[in-house]
Structure 1
C-alpha cells in the first residue's frame, strides 16, 4: 500500500469521526461481536466495561473523542445488533428527567443479564438464587431511546417475570432475585381475621385464619378452589368453621375479597314478611300456601331448611308465619293468597272457638264496651294475667262472649268464627291512634289611647279579619257584634277570625317594642282528642274563707278557715277533633294576680277570665278581644301651702285626671297532630325557636321564617 494514500485515507476517516462526535454528545460505539460460546459472568462484565471505555480494535487513528457532558453515561451495547425493543415512550422516568442510558442486549444469558442490569447499570446490591444462576435462557432487550434508571429497573422486572423470575425490593438498594414460585427464605406471617395483609416483603408467605360468620366453611372452599386453583393453599377446619389460607400476599388478598362476597346470610337481600293467621294455625296456613304455590309453578317449601325461591317458616309459639322471597311481586302474591286462605272454618261449632285481639292504640275496655253494645251482652273483665275474671260473666248467646284482660290489654272472644270475622273489622277500625291537638294561646295586654286604638282596629282590618259574635259564660260580659276591627266602641267581647296570624303577631311585637303592649304569656299545650288539658304558671295565694269565735273561751279564740286560690296564667282546653280537620274547642283562659290586702287580711285578686267554645279548622287562628279594664287616677301639683288655701288655692295648683285603659287580647291557634311525624315536626319547630343548644347534634340549621310584612300605607302607620 502506498504510504501517502494511506495517510490521506486516515486523515479523511479521522475528520469524519470528529464531525460525528461534534454533532452528538453521546458516543455510540460499534457493537462488539461476542462468541456464541458461554462466557463467565465476570469475563462478560469486564468485556462490557472495556467496551464502554475504549475504542474498537479496528480503529487505528489516535484521535481522542469528545468526552460526554456531565451526568451522561456511555451506552452499553453487548452482543450483536438486532431490531430495537421499544420501552416507555418518550424515554422519561417518573420525576427523573430525560433518559440517560441506551440499552441493546441481544441473546445474553439470563444470569449475565441480571448482573449487567442490577450490578453494572443500576449499581444495586443483589442476591441471586442458585436456581436462577443456573438458568441458560438467552435474553434480548433493546431500547430505541435513552432510558432512566427507574425505567430500566421496571423493564427488567417485567422481562424477568416472563422468564419465571421474581425481583424483590428489600429496601436500602438491596434486591433478591428468585424463581417466581419460591415461598422460602423468610419467616411466614400469620394473621387472623379478614383484614387485608400488609406485608413489607412481597415474597413472604401469608398464613391467614378466616372465621366464617354466616355460612359453613365447607360450602365455600369448593368455590374458592375452582376460582383460584393452586395459587393459595386452603385448609378447612370444619369443627371451628374456619379456613386457613397460605400463599402470597396478593393472592391471599384476592381470596379474602371473594370470601367477603360468599360469606353472607342465606336470606340476605330477600324480602321478608310476617303473617299472623286469625282462623288457622301457622303450620296449617304454611302447608296450604306451599301446596297452592307449588301447584302454580312456584318453588315453595314450608320449612327453614335450604334456600328456595319461597320459604315459609311457621312459628307455632306465637302462631306467626314468616315468608321469605326474592321478588317483591312474588311476596305480594303470597300475601294475597294468605288473605284468601285465612278465612273462618265453617266446620267449628258455634261457641266452640276462642279468639284474641290485642289492642294496639286503644284501651281494650273501651273497645269492649262498643262490642258489648253490638253483641247485647255484659262484658267481663280480667284484672290481671292468670287471675279470675272480675265482674259478672256475660250470659251465653248466639253472638258470643267477650272478656277483657286488662293486664295485657287484650280482648278475648268466645263464639263462632263468622261472628268474630264481623267484629274483627269493627275492632281494626276502632283501634287506631288517637289524634291530638296542639293549642297555642298568646295573651297580650295593650294600653289604649286614641292612636293605639285606631292602630289595633286598622291592623285587624288590613289583615282581612272578620269578627263574629261569641257565646261566653262565667265573666258577666255581653257579647256584641263589632262593626269593624275589635269593636272597641261596643264595649263587649268580640271574636275575630283571621286568615293569617303573622300580621297580628307582628303588630303585638311592634306595640311591645314601643312599650304599649305587654305579652303576658304565650302558653302551648298538647291535648288528646276528647280529653281536658290544663297548664298553669303562677302561685297559690292563701285567703281567709271564714272566721269563727269560740264562745267557751270568752271570745278570745278565733278559728279561721284558709283556702288557697290559684293565680297567674291558667289555660284549660278540651279539643274534640272531627273528620275534615275541624276542631271543637272548650277554652278557659284566666289571668289573675293579687294586688293588695282587702277584708280580713285577705288579698284582693284581680282576675281577667273568659270561657268559650269554638269550632275551628286546623291551623286557623281566632282572636278574642274586648276585655277592657279602666283605672282612673287624679294627681295634684302646685306651690306648697298656697295651693291649699280655700278658694284662692286653685290659682297655685294644677289638677290632672288620668284615665288608663287596657285591653286583653287572646289569640288562639289549634293544630291537629295526626301521627308521630306531625309530633316530630312540632318538636323540631320548638327546638329551632329555643336556639342552637336545643337542636340535636349534627342537625342542620333551618332557615329563619319570613313573617308577612305590614302594609306600608303612611296614613295607617301606628305611632
Structure 2
C-alpha cells in the first residue's frame, strides 16, 4: 500500500511539471507569431537622429579641413616653414661669368655715333655701369670710331654682352678679377687666357682664346678626349700623368665641353659591393662621419 501511494505521488508531481512547462512554452509560441509593429520610444529616435546629423556634419567639414591643412601645415613650436628662394621671385642678377654681376631688370639706353674707342669704353664702364676698370695704355692711342645706337632699352647684362662682343671684334679682351674689369689689347699673336677647374665659374670671362685645364676624376682623360665632340676651332689635349684635359677654344666652347664632361665623368657602377658591418666601439653616425672624412682626404667627393 505504501508503495502504491508513493507511485501515485510521483506520477502527480510529474504531471504538474509537464503542465507548468506547457504554460511556459505556449505564450512564447504566440509571441513569436505576433506582428513586428513595435513602437520605439521618442527618446531613442531623437538620440539616433542627432548622432546621424553629427556624422553628416563631420563628413561635410572633412574636405575643408583637409584643404586647410594642405595650404597651411602646422609645425611644432619653435619651427617655421622655409620658403624656397625661387618662390620669392626671379633673381635680379645673373652671374654667368666669374665676377660679372649685372642686373637683368635695370634697363639702360645707349646712343653713340662715331665716338672714339677710348671714350666709348670710358662712357660704358664709368657712366653706364659705374664699375671699377683698368684700361690698357695702348688703347688710349687708338682713334677708330664706334657707333652703337639702340632703339630699345636693354638690361645691364645684355648691354655688357653686346659691348664685350664689339670690343672683341676690335681685338680687345675683357676679364674680371676681384670685381675689377681689365680691358686689354691683344698682341699681334693672339693671347690665350689660362683657366683651371671643371666648373663653369672657373672659365675666365674673356672674348679671346681660353686654355682651360680640366681635372678628370673618375674616368680616363684619354677616353674622354676621344668622345668629346670636335667643335669648330677647339683643341683637346689629354694629360695622362695627371689625368687632366687641356682644352683650347673660346669661352662658349669651353663651357660646352664642361657640360659634356659632367655627363661622362661619373663613378662607374662596376666593382661595387654591398655588405653589413657589425660595429662594436663606434656608433653608425660616427662611422659615417669618419668614412666621409677619409674619402675626402683620398680625393673622392
Q: Structure 2-normalised TM-score? A: 0.38
Pick 1 or 2: higher relative contact order, CA cutoff 8 A, min separation 6: 2
Higher strand share: 1
Higher helix share: 2
Q: Which has the larger radius of gyration?
A: 1
